[in-house]
Structure 1
Amino acid sequence: MRLLALFVALASTVAAASGPDLSAFASLPADPAPPELVRGLHYWISNENDLALFHDAVKDKGGVYVGVGSDQNYLLGAWARAEILVLLDFDQSIVDLHRVYRVVFQAAETPEDFRRLWGLKSRPEVRRLIQEGYTDPRERARALQAYGSARWAVERRLNRVVEQMAKASLPCFLVDEADYAHLRRLFLEGKVFMVRGDLTAKRTVSAVGRAVAQAGMKVGVLYLSNAEQYFPYDSRYRSNLRALPLDEASVVVRTSGQRGISHVKGTYYHYNTQSGASFLAWLEDAKTRDVRAMLRHAPPSGTVYGLSRLDIGPEEAREALKQRLLAKRPVKKGKKPRGLSRGEAVVR
């Protein structure tokens, strides 16, 4: 037995030594805090209630998962079977909430126990986990504050996600053992990185790109939520996103609540999936000033109203949209030549 244990330990050491270099992820620089938050609110939970629409696009993409926001990243990251999670938000409070998720994932061996820990009766236990999990006084205080403010909303949101995924007949890390085990393993192995990052600032996103490249990996899933509707595609944003190692196999998933594009019926959002190569091509296009200008050219899925898929570049997409609009034009009936009575024919 001792020889077997020694062999297993040696094999683990060799595997770790030969694995990707993750050191750059551990030292990702934070962007400065924004001067103000959108509507002055902390978005503790997602209000995107149709994330099931992204399942097929992100499934088993692997690689590095990069996402903004809160709970939705765990659902998508598990479906993607991501090898590394990079969780960004320009609101430090959301980063602090991810730190609460970390200690809960590490402590809970099953999805049932995970959900129990977000319940009201588990508050003393979770506070203890936070206090024991963070030696830095500031990190500990911020995590405790985030937990105190967000716990009730997170519990409600997680229960809602369970219902939504059951209705869609899809696996969910809050119920499915394999999905949950995958996420928990990433936390236990130190492969989940959370940092205050602004998609339009100078430091974090470009540093993520360098870290992914240093590890010799690709971004499998880039989840942007509806962040892009709040800023133009300026030079900084284009530069940041071009720095991420995206390719044809990568997928970008986003939502948008803007006017002028279709929304899933009864919801706030349009849902879009896009290949990494397509996104890079649009970022090179000077005519594309914002996300709405791009999404207007995204072909509808043909299955769900308000869902689109964009896998082509701007020139091809513009021509395709032109042809779709021409095909929808009503055919004008020819006018009857003057001087003819009903039933007479024109002889040439």
Structure 2
Amino acid sequence: MHSLAENRFFTAGGSIVRIINRRPILRMRLVVVVLASTVFFSSPSFFAADTLPSQLSDDVFWRMVSDFSEGSGSFRFEFMSNEREFQSVIPDLVATTKPGGVYLGVGPEQNFTYIAATQPKMAFITDIRRENMLEHLIYKAIFEMSSNRVEFVSRLFSRKVPAGLTARSTARALFQAYRATEADREMFTRNLEAIRDRLKKLHHFEFTGEDDASIEYIYRTIFNAGDAFIYSTGGFGGFRGATYADLMTAADGRGEARSYLATEENFRVVREMEQKNLIVPVVGDFAGPKALRRIAQYLKDHNATVSAFYTSNVEQYLFQQGDDWRRFLSNVATFPMDASGTFIRSAHFAYNNGSVQPTRQLSGGNFVQLLCPMADLINAFNQGRIQDYDDIIRRSRP
């Protein structure tokens, strides 16, 4: 049987002359090269896997909190989110991002819901207010001491566990039951002592006297919140009077409850990360010279990428403060990211499908949640196509 690459010709003398047709062989070699290239560029085994730790020691965790942080800045401190619609973008967020990356965020408890949804390997919460870092450490201690949502809410608000709650209870049932339970002052005192002991004696985190006072102030404010669990300064729960229960029992844009207290599964995602020291709160200015860049370098050192960056409405203020917005986007540009990395932001207005005028405009403390591809925005910034806050919102979708 003759090879396809071989032709035989008979001479006048009857001898056989073999002429090899090299084109099929060259084509075959080309196919092999193309296939090899396809395997090389599509197979995960050819890319360096991230080297993010599965757990941080207490010493490493605290050094990261301390070394990555900048000096505390001045901005109104709120004890909880005031973004009622913060879950509305989660279905699209989950469809866009990849689990196993690094989550970046700002502010208090709303980050836990986004972490439960995106399931990163690590998370960094950067906020200009040192109180925010301390509040996250209070949460950390309570997560670690609570094996389920029922125990967690009991410790968070210093209320005895009501009868009838189970692992299958909805967040609405959970908060309805606790709303009928009185705050327990003795329980508050015991809980505060347990939180301090866990952070200082078990983890050996080092606090100043001012830190100690802030921890008590924050936890006492939560305790004094009242039946509706409103715990912003002055008891207003943010600009719109949203209560903790409002936020925890809210649903996404498709009617599914997504908060970190909606299910035991969501709760466990966050709790396990807290137990492993993988949610790192940092004091830092988005436009500052250190915090974000130190986190970015850490990701580079570990071959990791950003999966999601929740900015709330911080960018609105950065555009009101000279070139702070440029410094912020320059900081973001240092992060390793791929096409799936996504900004999550809050705004008072939004555009749809390239509309000239906002298709949704909200007043007062009302916010719409928006998503935006990180890489696309940074490319536009590098090309000089971002000049004002409106340019950022136009590139974001509800």
TM-score of the aligned structures, taking structure 1 as reference length: 0.72
Q: Higher relative contact order by CA 8 Å / sep ≥ 6: 1 or 2? A: 2
In structure 1, the residue matched to 2:238 is none
- Among 144, 153, 160, the alignment partner of 2:246 is 160
Q: Secondary structure at the match of 1:201?
A: coil
Distance 2:359 2:383 in 1: 23
Report the Cα offset of residue 20 of structure 1: 2.3
1:94-146 per-position Cα deviation (integer Å, ceiling 9, x unaligned):
11111110101101110111111122324123202222023234244432222
CA distance in 2, matches of 1:151, 1:229: 32
Q: 2:98 aligns with which of 39, 52, 61?
A: 61
- CA distance 1:263–1:152, shift in 2 (3 Å): farther
The within-5 A match list for 1:18-167 is 20-21=52-53, 25=64, 28-34=67-73, 36-37=74-75, 41-59=76-94, 61-62=98-99, 63-119=101-157, 120-121=183-184, 122-135=187-200, 136-138=206-208, 139-153=211-225, 155-156=229-230, 157-165=243-251
The one-letter code matched in structure 2 to 1:134 is L
Q: Which residue of 2 aligns with 1:285?
A: 383
Q: CA deviation at 1:28?
A: 4.0
On the 8 A contact 2:148/2:267 being kept in 1, the answer is yes
Deviations 1:118-176 (A, max 9, x none): 22324123202222023234244432222223444594443112321399322332131
In structure 1, how many angstroms separate the alpha carbons of the residues matched to 2:121 and 2:81?
Answer: 23
Contact 1:52 1:168 in 2 (8 A): no
Classify 1:177/1:30 alpha carbon distance in 2 versus 1 (closer, same or farther; 3 Å): same
Deviation at 1:238, TM superposition (A): 2.2
1:209-224 correspondence to structure 2 within 5 Å: 209-224=296-311
Q: Which one-letter code corresponds to 1:102 in the other structure?
A: K
- Stretch moving more, 153-162 or 195-204: 153-162
Report SS of the residue matched to 1:51: coil
Alpha-carbon displacement from aligned partner over 1:286-333 (angstroms, at most 9, x marks no partner): 2412332232354x5xxxxxx2xxxxxxxxxxxxxxxxxxxxxxxxxx
Match of 2:343 in 1: 252
* Residue identity in the other structure for 2:307: G
- What is the DSSP-based 3-state SS (H/G/I as helix, E as strand, rest coil) of the residue aligned with 2:147? coil
Structure 1: runs of 5+ lacking an equivalent: 1-17, 301-306, 308-348
Query: Which structure features the higher share of helix residues?
Result: 1
Contact 2:106 2:311 (C-alpha < 8 Å) held by counterparts: yes
Cα distance in 2 for residues equivalent to 1:171 and 1:238: 30
Instruction: Report 1:137-286 matches (<5 A).
Output: 137-138=207-208, 139-153=211-225, 155-156=229-230, 157-165=243-251, 168-232=255-319, 234-257=325-348, 261-263=358-360, 268-286=366-384
CA distance in 1, matches of 2:191, 2:197: 10
Alpha-carbon shift at residue 192 of structure 1 (Å): 1.2
For this pair of structures, how many residues does the alignment match?
Answer: 279
Segments of structure 2 that go 5 or more residues without pairing to the other structure are 1-49, 158-182, 201-205, 231-242, 351-356
Quote the Cα distance in structure 2 between the aligned partners of 1:201 and 1:151.
Answer: 34
Partner-residue secondary structure (3-state), 1:106:
helix
Which of the pair has more CA radius of gyration?
Answer: 2
1:144 partner letter: E
One-letter amino acid matched to 2:347: S
Q: Which moved more, 1:150-159 or 1:185-194?
A: 150-159
The answer on whether the counterparts of 1:85 and 1:191 sit within 8 Å (CA) in structure 2 is yes
Contact 2:377 2:395 in 1 (8 A): no
Letter of the 1:179 counterpart: N
Paired residue type of 2:348:
G
**Matches of 1:191 and 1:151, distance apart in 2:** 27
